[in-house]
């Protein structure tokens, strides 16, 4: 992880030889690097949680508009 941070600080790109290629963010695939004993790239690993929070926020915005 520290090598990815250092690479990002130096070049603006976190990729380096000791981890899988980490593509730029894409809102369709949400490429997410999982740093563990072995680094791996997952696409949208928390999709269900992300969508649930998005729905809750949308409800909150609707409620706030109704209260005003």
Q: Indicate the domain borders of the chain.
A: 2-67
User: What is the mean predicted confidence (pLDDT) over 53-64?
Assistant: 82
d(CA 9, CA 12): 6
In the numeric block, which tokens belong to residue 22?
């980490």
Query: Which string of DSSP letters, residue by residue, matches the chain?
Result: -HHHHHHHHHHS----TTS---PPP-TTT-EEEE-SSS-EEEESTTHHHHHHHHHHHHHHHHHHHHH-
pTM above 0.85, yes or no: no
- pLDDT score at 1: 93
Can you name the residues that pair with 34 across neighbouring β-strands? 40
């Amino acid at each position: 992880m520290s090598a990815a941070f250092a690479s990002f600080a130096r070049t603006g790109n976190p990729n380096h030889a000791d981890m899988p290629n980490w593509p730029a963010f894409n809102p369709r695939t949400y490429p997410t690097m999982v740093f563990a004993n072995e680094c791996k790239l997952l696409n949208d690993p928390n999709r269900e949680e992300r969508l649930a929070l998005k729905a809750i926020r949308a409800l909150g915005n609707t409620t706030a508009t109704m209260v005003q």
